[in-house]
Structure 1
Amino acid sequence: MAVPATAQDQPAPPATDARQTIIVTGVRDGYQVDATSTATRTPTSLKDVPQAASIITEAQIDDQAMRSIADVLRYVPGAVISQGEGHRDQIILRGNNSTADFFVDGLRDDVQYYRGLYNAERIEVLKGPNAMIFGRGGGGGIVNRVTKRPGANAFISSSGSADTYGAWYIDTDINQPISQSASARLNAVYEEFNSNRDFYDGRRLAINPTFAVSLGGTTRIDLGFEYNNDKRTIDRGVPSAAQGSLTSPSRPLTGFRDTFFGVPGFNVSDFEAKVLSGRIEHRFSDNLTVTSRVLYGDDDKLYRNTFAVTPVTLRGGVQSVGLEAYSDPTTRKNLLNQNDLVWTVTTGPVRHVLLAGFEYGDQRTRNQRINGFFGSGDIVNGGRRVFVALADRITVPPVTLRTTANTGYRSIRTNADATAFYVQDQISIGEHVDVIGGVRRDRFKLSIDDLVAGRSYSRTDTLWSPRLGVVLKPVQPVSIYASYSRSFLPQSGDQFSSLDITTAALEPEKFDNYEVGLKWDVSPTLNLTAAVYRLDRTNTRATDPNDATRTVLTGAQRSKGLEIGLNGA
């Protein structure tokens, strides 16, 4: 229901007035994007970026009524959305699963929650390892949300929708200049959740005021605050119909489309985030710019769930399904800072765009895992699992959460400190050849306190992440590229929760990506992209075949494929 501004037809000038000029401005039709600053941290044409990238614009988000990251990834080759246990975004990029490879305006956004699109200008999905730009993780790729910033023109727009299940939302986007050099913007959304699934409901409230000021035309300061509160029922879906095998895989249970395999009121995700952000960009000259970004986030997350852990099976002649339950409260405080210096130098036919930067991150996490127990019914595993008869609405005995000894209770405190510096050179040789090379050095220190066992573990890794790419442009609409890049992931996992006496001694996983691709502007408004890649993941963990108590780094994974995208009008 958003109403855009449109150009107005103008009457033809009188024949006697040859001096009148009519200027019509507008936006190019279609969803094509020409450039990005995310893939290289410098303003770069997408044709000159030697990696596969998919960008979903605000226009496409609005036209197709996208409401989530899951909606966006339906239009991204090489990307698949996972269920995320009903309470978080979880992605598979080039065969690699992650809950943490998310960024907002280039800064890490690795808390587990569902990200809204109400304040997104565009969503950028970069495929392959991106450690040179973003640091650890991102082995299969990353998802970056570029948020809306205040502009010079005043406007108000809103949109809303409702469906027959009772779900509805309304959002608003208000931009207001305050003076010739300052402006403010407000994005907000309220959403009610509902669906065909029994007992499913929830709501989300988010508000994001931002302020921008320009000082002397050479310095711009952006300040923002986001409050996000999301509370919803956790629905883990339906169980498998029967135990599967490699030759006969299992299938989802049919005939129970609306049945909720959980406990109403117990299955809940309650997320609250308060995020302060700032950005300062200063232009010393047309060729020299420095940008500094800072973000402080305070996140509080609770999720509790009862869920199916077995396929449908016969118990005493009755079709039943096994359920387990747990609670997982998490708090995280993030302090992130990123500083980039970009210098453009031209010497004859060779043009250099030099990037030098420094990054700092301090992430402090407190997490618990509290297992649930059932006191009645067909219970096994010491009361941790109960089997309930299959029905349109299942009946589950009451759940009790226990933190006593021998209940599998986990309580950890994590400090993750990261410092990094990086350099990059984008070299343009004439009009037909570009070369990009860069390297990043990360020092990542992780400390974990096991508050139940009274033990502490720590590990410090210092790693180099290179990147090299060549772009050939035989004719103006076409670019052909080849690239190599590397990323790494500590053995603690992307949420820092699995460091113990074994994993603390293991080297990080490595991701090496080899890629060739084509980018072709078929017409001024239509772009074709294709990429062939091989992604090798090494240093994955495996059990020592000679000693089941030991873990060794002999595992490896290879993903390879072809991605094709057509974008525009």
Structure 2
Amino acid sequence: MTIKNTQENPFRPRPTLLSIGLFFSSALLSMTALGASERETVELQEVEVKAEKQSDTKPVKGYNAKRSTSATRTDTELVNVPQAITVITRDFMQDQSMQSIADAVRYVPGVQAAQGEGNRDQLVLRGNQTTGDLFVDGLRDDIQTYRDLYNTDRIEVLKGPNGMIFGRGGAGGVVNRVSKKAGWDPVRDLSVSYGSFDHRRITADYGQGLSEELAFRLNAVYENSNSYRDGVELKRYGMTPTFTIKPGDKTEIVLSAEYFKDERTADRGIPSFIGGDNSNLNNRPYRIKDYDKFFGNAKLSPTETETVAFNAAISHAFDNGVQVKNSTRLAYYDKYYQNVYANSSVTTANTLQLGAYRDETKRENLINQTDITYTAKTGNVEHKLLAGTELAAQDTTNKRLTQGTSENLTGSVSADNPTVSNVAFNATSRNQKSDFTVAAIYLQDQIVFNPKWQAVLGLRHDHLETNYTDLRTGNFANINVTNNLLSPRAGLIYKPTTDSSLYASYSTSYVPRAGDQLIGLTVSTQSFKPEKFINKEVGAKWDINPNLALTAAIFQLERENVLAADPTNTGNSILLDGQETKGLEVGLSGKVTDQWQVMGAFTLQEGEITKQQGAGNSAILAGSNLAMTPTRTFSLWNKYQINDMWAVALGMVSRSEMYAATPTASQSTLLPGYTRFDAAIFAKLSPQWDAQINIENLTNKDYALFAHNNNNITPGAPLNARATLNYHF
């Protein structure tokens, strides 16, 4: 890594990036010109094969996905991928009435949702919190916002470092949304739902072939809902038109665009109170039974994100066996949020301090990826070869405003009436701009030695440049950082049978400081050093029957140079020397019988800081537990089809206690464990009409769902229900 201070224009042309891109593009074009070798003509006996036609608009049916292209960038059976992967299918999302990423990961082993300050998706994958490891169709989608699932066919969650495939980030894992695609199998669905706390939502999905070469699909959503939290509202709407063009059997072009707007109240939940357990060392959530009380001011806490994105993917299969796919994504994001929130624990005098700020971010992402695959044989050994490039540019501006010189508001308020009537955001605490570019090449070989043994070997090189500009200073101080990173991956697979596998894998990944990694960072040359992640994993996969899959993985994930929230100074970040997570993950998905479908996840894990950071009361001690990393989680959803008309479902979500933030020598907040039960009833009223009722928290359990830090804790929702009516025309 090289770092230099400069006053040069941060948006100057980059000859290194251009040269690498042109060189590798030329190499890729040369590969496509390879001629096919002569083959001996062999006359084969005619065989008739009968199978159910696969839908081109709903490629996965039921709860169990069999294949994926995300983990290897090639179409590979999941049982042959040396990595823990969970796929949330469209049928499962509909049965659970899911509308967010947080809803989906409840049934993914090793993954937790976090609060994200009430303005974004934030996940904890194997003990590592992230807002950037989110992708759509394999391309980065990393603005800090909430994503709706109205245009999503399935969600693929890949655990462990994924640097070889996804580049920067992908440390504890990645979440990839696979979009609904236009096809020739007609789609005509309209869905309306209404539920507790004035939940109101409508979605539409329409598509068909317009000609033999052209298909069209349109997905749209509108929602206007309230919440179990006082003053918290949500309004969002969006649409995604998609075209699929097939000028021939060997060429496919997919074009799509999306406009999506999300407006809601930024809800940071409730604070903790001092003491609360027998040892009097850990804080606990304050009055979790008062789940509806808003600490701060809901009307002064709006957040709004506007997303405009364009996507294009072109694939072609040459006669010589070479397949080429090129994908491009251009996305514009415009987001702001301001919040008035609890910025301290509740004292023994029943008072607390409030904080407030306004944050504004604009981002532009331009990403282009090219993948070339070719299958060859050396003797009896088969090789599926992948070569690829990624060229990307990301421009981000970010500004934060506070009242006066601090996020802390003057004075304290009573916990019985924890609000202020007005806040003036009149001081700029942060004003920065970053320009981040990527030029990457990667190579991979999926090797089949014989029916029992396979291997996956891959290596990626990323040339990364970050230009950071602090706009608050009079001379616009600029820092330029260059990183050249190598991300290897190696996996060995043993197949006892064709429908099972045992594997061992090793992978690394890096997280450079770019985009949201710079938000809240105290800028220095040391702070730009990339984080490094090393994952060692062994696992087993077994397709118990064609529609039911069982997976298990034991892992150890090490993290170096960790960027973490400062538990003693909200809004700032600190660097930690070491972190480790190790554990066991088990997943189950699919049909147990023709009538009984299940989706289950079980995790045992231990995440800790491996080296002491700091000194005194603010020290983070070696052996401290990681934030939002419970030792045990368990979830199981069962759906039973009683007859052609009726079906019922029962689910359970459970976790052990966990810390809201990594504890320091003087402060920690413990979120108690909980077990929650959910249920659903389904009715097929006619070929065109079906309905369902989803019930959450059947026993009306009081619990803390998740947190952002020690004093921003989200209470779980009480007993609530949602009715959905679907029309297929």
Q: What is the TM-score when the length of structure 2 is the normalising length?
A: 0.69
1:249 aligns with 2:271: no
1:345 maps to 2:376: yes
Is the counterpart of residue 515 in structure 1 residue 547 in structure 2?
no
- What SS does the aligned partner of 2:107 have? coil
CA distance in 1, matches of 2:54, 2:561: 52
1:322 to 336, 340, 353: 353
Find the partner of 1:305 among 310, 333, 339. 339
Q: Are 1:82 and 2:102 matched, yes or no?
A: no
Task: Name the structure 2 match of 1:13.
Answer: none
Which letter does structure 1 place at the counterpart of 2:173? G
Do the aligned partners of 2:296 and 2:419 also contact (CA within 8 Å) in 1?
Answer: no
SS of structure 2 residue aligned to 1:401: coil
Partner of 2:315: 281
Shift in alpha-carbon separation, 1:372–1:137, aligned structure 2, 3 A: same
Secondary structure of the 1:74 match is helix
Inter-CA distance 467–367: structure 2 relative to 1 (3 Å threshold): same
The 3-state SS of whatever aligns with 2:91 is helix
Alpha carbons 2:61, 2:89 under 8 Å: kept: no
The unaligned stretches of length 5 or more in structure 1 are 1-21, 375-380, 543-550
Inter-CA distance 182–286: structure 2 relative to 1 (3 Å threshold):
farther
Contact 2:436 2:514 in 1 (8 A): no
How big is the shift at 1:314?
Answer: 4.5
Q: Is the 8 A contact 1:491 1:503 kept in 2?
A: no
- Greater CA deviation, 523-532 or 344-353? 344-353
From 452, 463, 474, give the equivalent of 1:443: 463
Deviation track 1:197-236 (CA, whole Å, cap 9, x = no partner) reads 1111120001000111111222111111100011001111
Q: Which residue of 1 aligns with 2:397?
A: 366
Q: How does 1:372-387 map to 2 (within 5 A)?
A: 372-373=403-404, 384-387=409-412
Between the aligned partners of 2:464 and 2:100, the Cα distance in structure 1 is 31
CA distance in structure 1 between the partners assigned to 2:227 and 2:527 by the alignment? 47
After superposition, give the CA deviation of every residue in 1:152-195 in whole Å (9 maximum; x if it has no partner): 12220122211121111110110121101101000011011211
Distance 1:68 1:239, change over 3 A: same
Q: 2: distance between equivalents of 1:500 and 1:238?
A: 27
Q: Tell me which residue corresponds to 2:182.
A: 150
- One-letter code aligned to 2:415: L
Structure 2 CA distance for aligned equivalents of residues 384 and 442 of structure 1: 44
Give 1:311 deviation, angstroms.
1.1
Secondary structure of 1:437's partner?
A: strand
**Structure 1 segment 527-542 matched on structure 2, within 5 A:** 527-540=549-562
Q: Do structure 1's residue 293 and structure 2's residue 327 form an aligned pair?
A: yes
Alpha-carbon distance, 1:390 to partner: 2.1
Determine the structure 1 residue equivalent to 2:387: 356
Residues 436 and 515, structure 2, Cα contact 8 Å, conserved in 1: no
Q: 1:417 aligns with which of 437, 455, 466?
A: 437
Task: Tell me which residue corresponds to 2:238.
Answer: 206
**Equivalent residue in structure 2 for 1:434, among 439, 454, 459:** 454
**Distance across 1 between alignment mates of 2:319 and 2:422:** 68
Give the fraction of aligned pairs with identical amino acids, expressed as a percent.
43
Identify which of 127, 136, 140 aligns with 1:104. Answer: 136
Verify the 8 A CA contact 2:531 2:560 in the aligned structure 1. yes
Structure 1 residue 241, shift from structure 2 partner: 2.3
Q: Offset of 1:243 from its aligned partner?
A: 5.3
Amino acid at match of 2:471: L
RMSD over aligned CA atoms reads 2.4
Distance between the aligned counterparts of 1:23 and 1:425, measured in 2? 31
Matched, 1:194 2:231: no
Instruction: Confirm or deny: 8 A CA contact 1:235 1:262 kept in the other structure.
Output: no
Deviations 1:249-283 (CA, angstroms, capped at 9, x unpaired): 21111142211112232101111010011010111
Contact kept? 2:521, 2:527, Cα under 8 Å: no
CA spacing shift, 1:499–1:239, aligned 2, 3 Å: closer
Q: Could you tell me which of 388, 395, 415 is aligned with 1:390?
A: 415
Shift of 1:29: 6.9
Contact 1:320 1:387 in 2 (8 A): yes
| Aligned 8 A contact 1:103 1:143 in 2 | yes
What's the CA shift for 1:386? 3.6
Cα distance in 2 for residues equivalent to 1:484 and 1:383: 45
Deviation at 1:540, TM superposition (A): 3.4
Give aligned pairs, total.
527
Amino acid at match of 2:555: Y
Q: Is 1:565 aligned to 2:598, yes or no? A: no
Q: Secondary structure of 2:403's match?
A: strand
Q: Which amino acid aligns with 1:249?
A: N
Bigger mean CA offset, 22-31 vs 416-425: 22-31
Per-residue CA deviations over 1:413-449 (Å, capped at 9, x if unaligned) read 1101111000000001121111110100001111111
3-state secondary structure, aligned to 1:398? coil
Match of 2:284, SS state, is: coil
The answer as to whether partners of 2:354 and 2:408 remain within 8 angstroms in 1 is no
Shift of 1:385: 3.8
Counterpart amino acid of 1:284?
A: F
Indicate the SS of the match to 1:400.
coil
* Deviation (angstroms), 1:554: 7.2
> Which of 524, 537, 551 matches 1:502?
524
Please give the alpha-carbon distance, in whole angstroms, between the structure 1 residues aligned to 2:303 and 2:410. 21
Residue 624 of structure 2 corresponds to which residue in structure 1? none
Does residue 1:46 correspond to 2:78, yes or no?
yes
What are the superposed Cα offsets for residues 328-366 of structure 1, whole Å, 9 maximum, x if unpaired?
A: 000001111010001111344211110000101100001
Give the Cα separation in 2 of the matches to 1:385 and 1:440. Answer: 51
Match status 1:477 vs 2:499: yes
- How far off is 1:384 after superposition? 3.3
Measured at CA, do residues 149 and 541 of structure 1 come closer, stay the same or move farther in structure 2, by a change above 3 Å? closer
The Cα offsets for residues 367-406 of structure 1, whole Å up to 9 and x where unpaired, read as 01111359xxxxxx79734411122x544141011226xx
User: In structure 1, what is the Cα distance between the partners aligned to 2:554 and 2:516?
Assistant: 27
Change (3 A) 1:301 1:424: same
User: Does the 8 Å contact 2:552/2:584 carry over to 1?
Assistant: yes
SS of the residue corresponding to residue 209 of structure 1 reads strand
Taking the aligned partners of 2:257 and 2:273, their CA distance within structure 1 comes to 47
Whole-Å separation in 2 of the counterparts to 1:229 and 1:417: 27
Q: What letter matches 1:420 in structure 2? A: A
The C-alpha deviation readout for 1:114-145, integer Å capped at 9, x for no partner, is: 11110111000000000000001111000000
Q: AA paired with 1:55? A: V
Greater RCO (CA < 8 Å, at least 6 residues apart): 2
1:333 equivalenced with 2:364 (yes/no): yes
